[in-house]
């Protein structure tokens, strides 16, 4: 089990929230609000928040912009992870991943199964890393967002979580881009 090391200082992250929906506005975006409220209550900064329609290209424009923004450490999307024709968030985001985070999907489905049973198979929740930015794609329900934040993200985005967390590896996420070639190395 993980625990909080109280001798360590909390490190606030800059987290962007993207709601993917053809029908939501900021006024009725319960899932985006759930995430924004929880991350700020935990001490993080809401770096950006937008709503975009279920369209691969439109989603990618925002995600790419946020990946390129050095002021954004993590991105959380909500919506578009189901199986209907308009559910395209994984198709939009997964090709951008440099590394996939398979364990996130497994952990999410384990948490979800405990709450909603086999209905969890209707979600294609996914996560990965791109441009030294963590990206988490959650279902569009406030309950799923609450479960993912409370059960996974709150701890993993907290530097004090032991035995390990995402924050402590952030400085090394782009080391492959910064490392100069060794003398005499090829390609």
Residue 29 within a domain: yes
Question: Could you tell me the pLDDT band of residue 174, with boundaries at 50, 70 and 90?
Answer: confident
CATH of the domain at 63: 3.40.980.10
Residue 48 within a domain: yes
Question: What is the domain range of residue 15?
Answer: 9-171
CA distances from 62 to 31, 67, 149, 160, 176 (A): 18, 9, 22, 30, 24
Residue 36 within a domain: yes
* pLDDT (0 to 100) of residue 1: 75
C-alpha–C-alpha distance, residues 66 and 55, integer Å: 17
Q: Return the higher-pLDDT residue of 132 and 175.
A: 132
Residue 182 within a domain: no
- Is pLDDT at 187 greater than 60 in this prediction? no
Residue 179 within a domain: no
**Domain total for the chain?**
1
Query: How do residues 3-17 score in pLDDT, each as one tens digit?
Result: 999 999 999 999 999
Residue 4 within a domain: no
Residue 184 within a domain: no
Query: How do residues 84-111 score in pLDDT, each as one tens digit?
Result: 999 999 999 999 999 999 999 999 999 9
Residue 110 within a domain: yes
């Amino acid at each position: 089990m993980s625990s909080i090391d109280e001798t360590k200082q909390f490190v606030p992250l800059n987290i962007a929230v993207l709601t993917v929906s053809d029908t939501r506005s900021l006024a009725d975006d319960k899932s985006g609000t759930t995430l924004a409220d929880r991350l700020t209550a935990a001490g993080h900064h809401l770096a950006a928040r937008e709503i975009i329609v279920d369209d691969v290209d439109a989603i990618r424009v925002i995600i790419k912009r946020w990946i390129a923004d050095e002021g954004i450490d993590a991105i959380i999307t909500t919506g578009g992870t189901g199986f209907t024709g308009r559910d395209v968030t994984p198709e939009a985001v997964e090709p951008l991943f440099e590394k996939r985070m398979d364990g996130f999907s497994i952990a999410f489905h384990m948490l979800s199964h405990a709450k909603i049973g086999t209905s969890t198979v209707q979600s294609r929740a996914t996560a990965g890393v791109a441009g030294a930015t963590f990206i988490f794609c959650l279902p569009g329900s406030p309950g799923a967002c609450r479960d993912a934040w409370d059960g996974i993200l709150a701890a993993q985005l907290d530097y004090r979580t032991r035995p390990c967390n995402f924050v402590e590896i952030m400085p090394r996420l782009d080391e492959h881009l910064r490392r100069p070639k060794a003398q005499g190395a090829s390609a």
